[in-house]
Amino acid sequence: MSFHMNYNTEPRGWIMEEDGFGARSIAKCESIFAQGNGYLNIRCALEESYVGQCRDAFVAGTFNKAMPDEVTELPNLPDVTELVILVNGERFSLDKGRIHSYSRKLDLRTGECVRKVKWESPEGVELDLCFRRFVSLHEEHAAAFQTEITSVSAPMELVIESGISSRSSNTGSQHCLDGEKRMLGRDTLRLSTCTVQSDIPIVVHCVHKFNKETLMELPVIERRRFVKQFRFQIGKGETLRMEKTACYHTGRDMRYELPDWPAGVTDSKPVCADGDALIEKLKGSSYEELLKMSARAWASYWKDTDIEIESSDPVDQLGMRFALYHLNIMIQRRDSRVGIGAKGMTGEGYKCHSFWDTEMFLLPFYLFTHPQAAKTLLKYRYRSLPGAYRKAAENHYEGAMFPWESAWMDDGEVTPLYGAADIVTGTSIPILTGMLEHHITADIAWGVWLYYEGSMDEKFMDKYGCELLVETARFWSDRLEWKEERKRYEICNVIGPDEYKEHVDNNAFTNYLAAFNLRTAAHVIGIMEKKWPGAWKNLSRRFNLEELREDFQNKEKSLYLPEPDKDGIVAQNEQYMGLEKVDLTKYKTQQGVSSIYEDYSQSQMNQIMVSKQADMVMLLRIFPELFDRETRRKNFIFYESRTLHDSSLSHGQHCVVASWLGMDEMALDMYRHAVNIDMGPNPSSSDEGIHSASMGGVWQCAVCGFAGLKWNGRLSLENHLPKCWKKMTFRLCWRGALLRVELTEGIISISHQQGPEISLCVNGREHILSEGGSVREES
């Protein structure tokens, strides 16, 4: 069966349902149905095994290098999801026998996934099977599973094998040793291992409970596998229920950075002891009891974060909640030692490395819904400064040059050196982003200032923010190249956001962001001594801050910033306007992405006027007041027509700018494209994991686009609600104030629910709003 999702399942707007088993969509569904809590994430691989399956269990921070010539990645840890089910000696598998009905549902309200199957074995034995599972949002180390098997047609002998397997790999690379396997009492299995290079202890426990006495219960210890085999006799109409509870602990758990243990525990004994204690506690609770505790935590999240949409198309609402669900499970809100991977922790794509996605696409969501989480992400960048200093020094620059791909705090640059084969030469294509995509350093500075503007967190600036801004500006000060013949500074030989263009000069996005970084750092130095004395004391020990301030100001004033030409178009880079124009219709209407690589090599792509994703449009998005409205409109139309949206980062940003420009139909179309990157009909779009940045982009479509959220020293909202949406409601945090925003046709209403008084602009009109107050503006 081909991939198909039912989005009308009740309650509508909350349930993702796969209503048929399809081998082609196995990997995609593992990703989109993945479950987690930011510490522990488990990919939703089916309990029985199939070709193309990828059983992934990830714990934040356990980065490891499998081989000396490989880069650091988040390792696939021992698996607890696999079940072997034998019915009268016949292995249960949906690719044999007969499927009478099939449904798998993810309830976004609770994070529980339920799969129900009516299956007839090749021998004619009919079964009803129900598989339930969740990763706890209440107890971050725990996951729980329930399996019910009912004999419909006749009595049967049932054998189940379940336990822990460390046979999983990251596409072939083994990150963990075989490990020690121990039985604790009669019912608990424990597998303790460690990563092969970073030497992090990993301990996994599981325990089983049944509603029926076993005929036989046998521990099976094999290489990289530790399971128990259970045998039952099941009568016609009888149901066997198995509950399985598992927990994961590692030597990088947060508690080991507290005073009672040294940072980075390498001794497995305390890790085992913590796991032993937790599994003993958890096995006293039923699956339902554990689910209720987790569901309460989910209810709290949805109360604060839900965006309610009344639309003629139910996918509009479900797509938003799907994004919000994944935005919750991809982040460790309390642990500043880890960032967010480009696939979250739903698959092995991009090795769970952090990119500029974090600041540009995800940080706004966390800032405006849970500011503490945004602070945690920026503290991760602060704690990663040693790697940024190292990369700058290796490239002969001053200051902090942040890696394009980041993993553990001190790993530094972890971008792989080579990728796929060139269509023309057949040789591996060098991955130049780690060498040339320098704008990430300014993106982080932009994120720092955004957080400060939205939170007014003076302690953060004093302890972290000022240093990040100054050190990133020092990099740009040294990175700029003086061109004597033009009497200006330039930034040459870079890759901008459009990764189809390599070795370009004066990428507009990069230059304007570098100027922002220099200007903001100079401003911060000017007020630091009085406003943030701790930062002043720290930095003045290392630098002459007045000299730095003057240097930043002079270089920012002399940095070349591309301006509109006679037609109003701002060149994406210095070479762009002279590139060859080709017919892009074939690629603009493609079902997948990057099909242009089937016709052009990377070197050829550099010579044609085509963009992978928002680049100049991205600049219009983050600096909306940079150019007048007509210039913005001209550039949006010019560049969108040449953009293939071959990146999941692209549609959301185009949606926002299209909304601001009054291109309502295009904006809604871009929103739906962003939603369908993972939820859409392409059966392999998310094989290696969901697209984290796209989830943040979906939120930005609604809040920044349709609700017109902007910030430039003050909050601004404007109604751009799509015509087919009757209403949209959401909550917003700004400088300690909690606001409720409601948009209907032609009307935007804002109520101040708690916190300090704030000023804001609504549909172009200024207001002062205090707790209990409200404002209602018509377009």
Residues making up the annotated binding site are: 356-357, 612-613
Under a CB-based contact definition with an 8 Å cutoff, are residues 301 and 365 in contact? no
Q: Are strands 342-345 and 710-711 parallel, antiparallel or unpaired?
A: unpaired
176, 208, 191: which is closest to 83 by C-alpha? 208
**Residue 239 class from Cβ within 10 Å (0-12 exposed, 13-18 middle, 19+ buried)?**
middle
Nearest-angstrom CA–CA distance, 605 and 225: 48
What residue type is 695 in one-letter code? M
For the chain, first and last CA: distance in Å? Answer: 48
Q: Is 499 a catalytic residue?
A: yes
What distance in Å separates the CA atoms of residue 207 and residue 186, rounded to the nearest whole number?
Answer: 10
- Residue 57's closest CA among 37, 77, 74? 77
Cβ contact 179:189 at 8 Å: no
DSSP state letter for 562? -
Task: Report the greatest alpha carbon distance in the chain.
Answer: 90
Q: Residue 11, preceding bond cis, omega within 30 degrees?
A: yes
Task: Output Rg (C-alpha) for the chain, integer angstroms.
Answer: 27
Do residues 401 and 441 make contact, with C-beta atoms less than 8 angstroms apart?
Answer: yes
The two three-digit tokens of residue 134, written as one number: 């969740």
Annotated binding residues for substrate:
356-357, 612-613
For 534, phi then psi, to 5°, come to: -65, -45
Rounded Cα distance between 444 and 441, Å, is 5
Q: Which of 499, 556, 640, 777 is catalytic?
A: 499
* 11 close to 322: Cβ distance less than 8 angstroms: no
Instruction: Indicate left, alpha or beta for 174 from its phi (over 0: left) and psi (-120 to 50: alpha).
Output: beta
Position of tokens 């021992």?
78
Residues in the chain: 779
| Cα 506 to Cα 512: distance, rounded to the nearest angstrom | 9
- Between CA 609 and CA 619 the distance in angstroms is 18
Q: Which of 501, 629, 647 is nearest to 564 (CA)?
A: 629
How many alpha carbons lie under 13 Å from residue 126 in its C-beta half-sphere? Answer: 8
- Nearest CA to 75 out of 310, 314, 352 is that of 352
Measure the CA–CA gap between 432 and 150, rounded to whole angstroms. 56
What's the one-letter identity of residue 134? F
SS3 content of the chain, % helix, strand, coil (to 5): 35, 25, 40
How far apart CA 140 and CA 528 sit, in angstroms, is: 39
Distance CA 231, CA 243 (A): 15
Secondary structure class of 542 (helix, strand, coil): coil
Return the structure tokens found at 223.
């290489």
Q: Catalytic site residues?
A: 499
